[in-house]
A and B are shown apart, each in its own frame.
Chain A
Amino acid sequence: MKQSFLALTTLVLMFSGVVFSVCGQEDLLKKVVRLEKTHGKVEALLKEIGQKGNFVFSYSPHVIQADKEITLSTDEQRVSAFLEEICQSYAVQYFQRGNKIIIAKKKKPINNQQKATLNGYIREAGSGEALIGATVQVRAADGPDHHELLTGVVTNAYGFYSITLPVGAYKFVFSFIGYEPVEEMLFLEENTSLKIELKEATGLLQEVVVEASPEEYEDENVRSTDLGKTHLNIQEIKQIPALIGEVDVVKAIQLLPGVQVQGEGSTNFFVRGGAADQNLILLDEAPVYNASHLMGFFSVFNPDAIKNMQFYRGSIPAAYGGRLSSLLDIRMKEGNLKNFSVSGGIGLTSSRLTIEGPIKKEKSSFIISARRTYADLFLKFSRDEFTRNSALYFYDLNAKFNYKIDEKNKIYLSGYFGRDLNKFKTLQYVIDWGNATGTMRWNHLFNERLFSNTTLIYSRYDYLIDLSNEGTPFNWRSEIKDHTLKMDFSYYVNPDNLLGFGFSTTYHRFRPGESKDAVNGGVPRSNALEHAAYISNEQHIGDKLSLEYGLRYALFQLIGPTSVISYDENYLPVGTEEFEKGEIYKTFRGLEPRVSARYLLSGNSAVKVSYNRQRQYMQLLSNLALGLNAFDIWLPSSAQTPPQTSDAFSVGYFLNPGKNLYEFSVEGYYRILKNQIDYKDHGQLIMNPFLEGELRRGEARAYGIELMLRKREGRFTGWLSYTLSKAKRKIPGINNGQYYPANYDQPHSFSLVGNYKLSKRWGVSANFVYATGRPVTLPVETFRYEDFIVPVYGNRNSGRMPDYHRLDLAATLYPKEKPNRVNHSSWTFSLYNAYARYNAAAVFVSNELEDIDLVKDPDKSAFHKLSIFGIVPSITYNFKF
C-alpha cells in the first residue's frame, strides 16, 4: 500500500513537472504585480515591475522615453495593464520571449512582405564622423542558438549600412575597433532606418583596460573575402614612433608585410614586387601623384585631417583600377558635427593646426587643417652665407565641408593643397613641387537598399626646376593633371548579396617636361581619356563559403593635340606625326577580372584564395640612386610603351585565436607583370624630348610569403610581420637580357610594432624593423681613360647594401583626469633610430670626400656609405580643446 502510494505520488509529481515544463513558461503579461510606488521615471517603473514579476524587460531607448516621469493609476494590476498605461502614447507592441518581455516599435506592415531592411549610418558619438568599416552583426535574439551570429555587414566609406532580413526579432551588434559596441534588440517587421552613434572606448586611453567580451572583437579579417587588406585607423598610427615626432600615415604602411621601402627616410613604397608608381594613393577619392614632402622624409598627409586608411595589397576591388600593385584609400575627416574644436601640435621641425566644427549642428560641418615646417627659419641664423640664403620648407592645407540636405542626400567638398620649396639663392637655384586635389561628392540614397555616390575629382601634381645663373641657365617644368567624373552604386540585394557597379571617366593631361630655354627643348605634351565600368558582387553561399567576384573594363584613349615621335627598332627617333585637338590616335582596352573566395574552417579561421588582373596606363619615370626625389615624370602608355599588366594569385590562411583578441594570417602570392619599364644605361629622363627612346620594357616576377600576427585591443596592441619575397626583372638590353633583382628586392623583411598603456597617464611604444640590404650595382674594377678613373660593374644589382635595421621608441604623457576638462593635451617624446645604427641610404664610389675642399691625391678612390640619420630625438606637444 505504502509502495503504491509512493509510486502514485511520484507519478503525479512527475506528471506535474512535465505539465509545468510544457506549459509553464508562465504568461508574464498576465502576471499580477504590486509596486511600491506609482510615480516615477518610466525606466524605474519598468525595472520594478520586472523585479516584482521576476523577469526582465528588453527595449531600445528609441521606442519609449525612458526618463519621462509618469504616474500610474494603481499600484497593483496585470503586467499587461501596466504596459498599456506606460506605452499608451507610443506606437509599440510587446511580446514575451522566454523570461523577457520585449517592447518594440509597432509599425504597419507593408504588403505583407516576408523581409525587411534595416539601414542607416554609424557615426562617432563625440563628433558625428562617419565610421568606415564598422561592423553590423546580426545575431539570434533567442532560441537554442541564442546570440548565434547569423550574418553581418560593414559600413561603406560614408558610414552607411543596409541589411535585409526575414521578418523577426534579432539582436544587432554595432561595433568598431576602439569604440564601445552598441547592442539593439529589434523586432524587424518592416523597413527601418536606424542611426547609431558609438562612443570612443576612452578606457583604453585613460584607464587600465579590462578585457572586454569576445563579441566586441572584430573578426572581419577572417570573415571577409579580402586577402592582403589592412585597415588602419589614425589612432593606431599616431601611436607609432615617428621620425622627428612627425606622425606619418605612409610610414605606417611601410611597416606592413609585403611592403618594401626604397631607402632611408623615403615615402616611396613597393608592394609585392611592384614598382613605386604601381600604388594608387587616393585622398578622398582624388589620386595623389607624389606623396612626398622634403624629398620623401615626410608624406603629404596631415594626420590630424585623416580619419581612416584602407590598404589593399591584394584583392583590389573592381571599383578601383589604373594601378597594378596596391590601393591606399585615405579618407579625410568630415568635421565635428556637434562641437567646435581646435587641435594641433608643435614639434621640432613643423607645427600643425586643425579647426573643425558644425556650421549647423547635426547637419553641416567643416574642417580646416594646416601644417608647415619652420626649420628653414633657423637657417637664417647660420654664419655661412650660403646656408643663410637658402630656404627649405613645405606647407600643406586640407579643407572639407559637408552638408546633409535631407535623409537621402548629402554633399561633401574637400580639397588639399601642398607645396615644397628648395631655394638656394647664392646659386640662383630654385626647385619647388606640389600637389593639389579637389573632390565634390554627392551621396544619394535611392531607397533603403540602393546607395549611390557621384564624384567630381580634380588632381594636379607639378614641379619646377629653375637655375638662373648666367653660366648654365635652365628652366624645366613638369605637370600631370586629372579631371574625373565617377559614379558608384551599392545595391544591398539581400543578406547574401551585395552588388556594386559604376563607371568613371578621367581626362588626363600630361606635361612631362617643358623648358623656356630652346636649347633644352621639351617632351611633347599628351592628353588621354581613361574610362572604366565595373560590376561586382559579394556573395555568401551557406555558412562557410563567401565569394567576391567582379569584372572591370577599362578603355584608354590618347587624344590630340600633340606631336608623336616614332622610334625604330634601335629606339632612335625616325619621325614625328601631328594630331589635331580631340583626334584619337591610339586606344588600349582590356578586361580585368577580380575573384576572391573565403571558406570558413571554423568560427575563427578561414582559407582564402584570390586572382586579380590589373592594367595600368601610365608610368612613372624616376631614375635616381636615392629615394630622395620629386622630379618624377608621369608618361602615358603609347605605341612605344604599351600598358603594364599584372596577374596576381594569392592564397592565405587566417586565424583569430584568443576569441578574436589576436589576428593571425599567412599569405602567399605570385605575380606576373608585363611591360615593365626600365631605362637604358645612362638614360636621360629630364630635359630630353626623346624620352621614350630611353625606355626599355620587359617582364617581372614577384612571389613571396607574408606572416602577420596582430593584437588590436587591450593594454598591449601592435603587430609583428615577416615577409620572405623575391622580385626580379628581365628586360632586353639590360644585364645582357638576363633576370636581375629589382631595385626594391629585399628577401627578408621584418617589423615589430608595439604600444603599451603603462598607466592612465603614460603610454609607450616601439617599433623595430629589419630588412635585407637593397640591391646595388657597384664596380668590381676600374680602368683609366684620360684623367678619369672609370668604374667597371658586375651584373646589375648583383651586390647588396648592408642590411637595414632600426629601433624607434616613444613615450606619451597624457593629461590628468579632471571633470569637464577642456584642454586635452599630451607630450610625446620619441627617439628615432634609438641605437644609432647608421643604415646605408646609398653606397657609391668616389674620390675621397673627407676633405671636400682639396683632393690631395686625385687618384685615390674609396667605397662610401651615406647614412642619413643617426639617432634623432624629438619632443612634440599635441593639444586639443
Chain B
Amino acid sequence: MNRTSIYKYPFIIFLSFAACLQPLDWEEAEDPSGRLVVEGLITSEKTVHTVKLTRTQAVIVDSLPEMVSEAQVTIADGEREFHLQETAPGIYQTDTLQGEVGKTYHLTVRRNDKTFEAFAEMVKALPAEPVEVFKWDDRLQLPAGVTYFQFLYRDNFGAPAPYRYRVFSEIPENVADYYPTDWTVPNWIKRRMDSGNLITADSTFYLHPGLEPPAIFAYGETNVSGVTYGTRIVELFYSMTEEHYNYVRAVLSETEWKGLGPFSYVSADVPTNLTNGALGFFAASDVLRVEQVVE
C-alpha cells in the first residue's frame, strides 16, 4: 500500500486539545496461543500460486511470525488436486497453473493429525476502463514536442465492485524514441534506467464499492507525474467474492482504518473461511489486466 496517509491531521488537532498518549502494560496479551494462520490466493493468472502458513504472535511484537513447516497442503478444483511444495519455511507453492472462473477451490492443510480446510469461489472480474492520463502541469516551460503526463491513483471508494488492485507503470527502454532528438532524459528516468528496474509507481491496494467513514482520513490523493510517452500503465483488478471482501474490510477496519477520528468501528475479530480454529483467509480471484500505453 503506497498512498499518502493524512489521517494524522485530525489526530494532531485532537491531541492539541487533549492531554497525552501513554504506553500501557497489558498482561493479558503476553502469551499467544500459536494458532495456525493461512494466507493463500489462487488466481486466473498462469503462474505459481502461494499459500503461506504462520502462527499467531503476541500483541507487542518485534519479530516476524513463526513459519509453519512440514504441512501437507493441497488445492483441489473438483477435477484435479494440486499438491503444494514447501519452497521455503512456511511457504508452499503450486506448479505453474491457472485458475478458472466459476470453479470453487478447496484448500486442505494437514499437520500433526489436524486438518484445516477452506473453500473459495473464483468470480469473474467486471470490466474496467483504463485510468485517465492527462498532461502534467502546463506551467512547465518545456521545449516544443516535449510533453510529460500524469495520472491519479484510483479512488479507494466508489468502485463498481470490490477489488484487490495493483497499478504500476513501466518506462520503455526506448523512451528517447518518443521525444525530439535534442531531448535529454530527465534524471528521474535516467536513475531508473540505470538501475535496470523500469517499473515505477507500483502500488497495491483495495478498491471499495461504498465509502468507509473510518477511512475518510486514511487516504489522500496520489499523483503519479513525470510519465513519458511510451510508458505502459498496467492495472490488475483481482475479483473478490463477498466473503473475501468482508474479510479484507474487517482487516482494514482493525488496522489501517483504526484511528482516533470520529468514525471508529468497535473492535471485533476478523472473519475467516478456515475451519478448525485457523485464522486468515484463502481466496480465489479472477485477474483483469488493463493496459494502456501513453501516446
Cβ of A738 to closest chain B Cβ, rounded Å: 14
B225 at interface (Cβ–Cβ under 8 A)? no
Nearest opposing residue in chain B for A623, CB measure: B266
Nearest opposing residue in chain A for B268, CB measure: A681
B23 at interface (Cβ–Cβ under 8 A)? yes
Residues in chain B near residue A520, CB distance under 8 A: 210-211
Quick one: given A471-B220, A472-B211, A844-B258, are A781 and B57 in contact (CB under 8 Å)? yes
Among B9, B18, B62, B156, contact of A426 (Cβ-Cβ < 8 Å) = B9
Cβ of A734 to closest chain B Cβ, rounded Å: 8
A545 at interface (Cβ–Cβ under 8 A)? no
Quick one: given A781-B33, A783-B37, A859-B61, are A386 and B263 in contact (CB under 8 Å)? no
* Residues A781 and B29 in contact, CB atoms below 8 Å apart: yes
* Residues B59 and A845 in contact, CB atoms below 8 Å apart: yes
Cβ of A520 to closest chain B Cβ, rounded Å: 5
* Residues A838 and B59 in contact, CB atoms below 8 Å apart: no
* Residues A472 and B216 in contact, CB atoms below 8 Å apart: yes
- Which of the 9-residue segments A285-293, A479-487, A626-634 touches chain B? A626-634
* Residues A470 and B267 in contact, CB atoms below 8 Å apart: no
* Residues A682 and B265 in contact, CB atoms below 8 Å apart: yes
A564 at interface (Cβ–Cβ under 8 A)? no
Quick one: given A426-B9, A625-B266, are A794 and B28 in contact (CB under 8 Å)? yes
Residues in chain A near residue B177, CB distance under 8 A: none
Nearest opposing residue in chain B for A779, CB measure: B59
* Residues A684 and B20 in contact, CB atoms below 8 Å apart: no
Per the 8 Å Cβ criterion, residues 224-256 of A in contact with B are: none
Cβ of B221 to closest chain A Cβ, rounded Å: 4
Cβ of A466 to closest chain B Cβ, rounded Å: 11
Quick one: given A785-B39, A792-B279, are A427 and B9 in contact (CB under 8 Å)? yes
Cβ of A744 to closest chain B Cβ, rounded Å: 13
B250 at interface (Cβ–Cβ under 8 A)? yes
> Once bound together, how far apart are the Cα atoms of A295 and B10, in whole Å?
14
> Once bound together, how far apart are the Cα atoms of A681 and B253, in whole Å?
10
Quick one: given A845-B59, A865-B21, are A628 and B262 in contact (CB under 8 Å)? yes
* Residues B65 and A783 in contact, CB atoms below 8 Å apart: yes
Quick one: given A681-B269, A777-B266, A781-B33, are A424 and B10 in contact (CB under 8 Å)? yes
Nearest opposing residue in chain B for A788, CB measure: B255
> Once bound together, how far apart are the Cα atoms of A390 and B157, in whole Å?
26
Cβ of A626 to closest chain B Cβ, rounded Å: 7
* Residues B22 and A864 in contact, CB atoms below 8 Å apart: yes
Residues in chain B near residue A426, CB distance under 8 A: 9
* Residues B39 and A862 in contact, CB atoms below 8 Å apart: no
* Residues A386 and B9 in contact, CB atoms below 8 Å apart: yes
> Once bound together, how far apart are the Cα atoms of A753 and B199, in whole Å?
68
- Which of the 9-residue segments A8-16, A147-155, A866-874 touches chain B? A866-874
A860 at interface (Cβ–Cβ under 8 A)? yes
Among B29, B158, B221, contact of A863 (Cβ-Cβ < 8 Å) = B29
* Residues B19 and A781 in contact, CB atoms below 8 Å apart: no
B: contact size bracket: 35 or more
Quick one: given A426-B9, A519-B158, A682-B265, are A789 and B22 in contact (CB under 8 Å)? no
A50 at interface (Cβ–Cβ under 8 A)? no
A799 at interface (Cβ–Cβ under 8 A)? yes
> Once bound together, how far apart are the Cα atoms of A684 and B16, in whole Å?
29
* Residues A852 and B11 in contact, CB atoms below 8 Å apart: yes
* Residues A471 and B265 in contact, CB atoms below 8 Å apart: no
B24 at interface (Cβ–Cβ under 8 A)? yes
* Residues A863 and B24 in contact, CB atoms below 8 Å apart: yes
Per the 8 Å Cβ criterion, residues 356-375 of A in contact with B are: none
* Residues A791 and B267 in contact, CB atoms below 8 Å apart: yes
Residues in chain A near residue B213, CB distance under 8 A: 684, 686-687
* Residues A860 and B62 in contact, CB atoms below 8 Å apart: yes
> Once bound together, how far apart are the Cα atoms of A684 and B210, in whole Å?
10
A683 at interface (Cβ–Cβ under 8 A)? yes
B270 at interface (Cβ–Cβ under 8 A)? yes
Per the 8 Å Cβ criterion, residues 150-199 of B in contact with A are: 155-158
Residues in chain A near residue B268, CB distance under 8 A: 681-682, 777, 793, 796
A782 at interface (Cβ–Cβ under 8 A)? yes
> Once bound together, how far apart are the Cα atoms of A870 and B217, in whole Å?
27
* Residues B60 and A863 in contact, CB atoms below 8 Å apart: yes
> Once bound together, how far apart are the Cα atoms of A686 and B262, in whole Å?
11
* Residues B264 and A472 in contact, CB atoms below 8 Å apart: no
Among A390, A624, A683, A802, contact of B263 (Cβ-Cβ < 8 Å) = A624
Cβ of B163 to closest chain A Cβ, rounded Å: 15
Quick one: given A682-B249, A684-B213, A785-B281, are A846 and B265 in contact (CB under 8 Å)? no
B280 at interface (Cβ–Cβ under 8 A)? yes
Quick one: given A784-B54, A794-B28, A843-B24, are A861 and B212 in contact (CB under 8 Å)? no
B56 at interface (Cβ–Cβ under 8 A)? yes
A780 at interface (Cβ–Cβ under 8 A)? yes
Nearest opposing residue in chain B for A680, CB measure: B268
Nearest opposing residue in chain A for B29, CB measure: A780
* Residues B20 and A838 in contact, CB atoms below 8 Å apart: yes
* Residues B211 and A625 in contact, CB atoms below 8 Å apart: no
> Once bound together, how far apart are the Cα atoms of A472 and B32, in whole Å?
39
> Once bound together, how far apart are the Cα atoms of A168 and B281, in whole Å?
87
Nearest opposing residue in chain A for B278, CB measure: A783
> Once bound together, how far apart are the Cα atoms of A679 and B265, in whole Å?
10
> Once bound together, how far apart are the Cα atoms of A723 and B173, in whole Å?
76
> Once bound together, how far apart are the Cα atoms of A780 and B62, in whole Å?
16
Residues in chain B near residue A786, CB distance under 8 A: 39
Per the 8 Å Cβ criterion, residues 43-62 of B in contact with A are: 54-62
Quick one: given A424-B9, A790-B251, are A863 and B266 in contact (CB under 8 Å)? no
* Residues A846 and B59 in contact, CB atoms below 8 Å apart: no
Quick one: given A631-B263, A789-B255, are A863 and B37 in contact (CB under 8 Å)? no
The 8 A CB mask of A444-470 against B (1 = contact, 0 = none) is 000000000000000000000001011
Nearest opposing residue in chain B for A846, CB measure: B258
Cβ of A286 to closest chain B Cβ, rounded Å: 27
Residues in chain A near residue B16, CB distance under 8 A: 387
Quick one: given A788-B251, A791-B254, A852-B11, are A866 and B211 in contact (CB under 8 Å)? no
Cβ of B218 to closest chain A Cβ, rounded Å: 9
Among A787, A861, A863, A866, contact of B260 (Cβ-Cβ < 8 Å) = A866
The 8 A CB mask of B57-77 against A (1 = contact, 0 = none) is 111111111000000000000
Quick one: given A624-B262, A865-B22, are A785 and B9 in contact (CB under 8 Å)? no
Residues in chain B near residue A790, CB distance under 8 A: 251, 254-255, 270, 279
B6 at interface (Cβ–Cβ under 8 A)? yes
* Residues B21 and A849 in contact, CB atoms below 8 Å apart: yes
Cβ of B72 to closest chain A Cβ, rounded Å: 21
> Once bound together, how far apart are the Cα atoms of A840 and B271, in whole Å?
29
> Once bound together, how far apart are the Cα atoms of A860 and B63, in whole Å?
9
Among A390, A521, A785, contact of B37 (Cβ-Cβ < 8 Å) = A785
* Residues A783 and B54 in contact, CB atoms below 8 Å apart: yes
> Once bound together, how far apart are the Cα atoms of A688 and B208, in whole Å?
13
Among B61, B64, B216, B260, contact of A860 (Cβ-Cβ < 8 Å) = B61
* Residues B279 and A864 in contact, CB atoms below 8 Å apart: no
Cβ of A677 to closest chain B Cβ, rounded Å: 13
Among A472, A846, A857, contact of B219 (Cβ-Cβ < 8 Å) = A472
A222 at interface (Cβ–Cβ under 8 A)? no
Residues in chain B near residue A687, CB distance under 8 A: 210-211, 213
Between A and B, 21 residue pairs with Cβ closer than 8 Å are A392-B13, A424-B10, A467-B216, A472-B157, A624-B266, A631-B263, A681-B250, A684-B212, A684-B213, A777-B266, A780-B29, A782-B56, A783-B54, A791-B254, A793-B267, A794-B28, A838-B20, A859-B63, A865-B22, A867-B21, A867-B22
Top 4 nearest A-B pairs (CB, nearest first) are: A681-B268, A471-B221, A781-B32, A783-B37
Known: A472-B216, A682-B265. 17 other contacts (CB 8 A): A387-B13, A390-B13, A424-B9, A427-B217, A472-B157, A520-B210, A624-B266, A683-B265, A688-B210, A778-B26, A788-B256, A790-B279, A842-B260, A846-B258, A863-B23, A868-B19, A870-B19
Residues of A near any B CB (own CB < 8 A)? 295, 386-387, 390, 392, 424, 426-427, 431, 467, 469-472, 474, 517, 519-521, 623-626, 628-629, 631, 679, 681-684, 686-688, 777-794, 796, 799, 802, 838, 840, 842-846, 849, 852-853, 857, 859-870
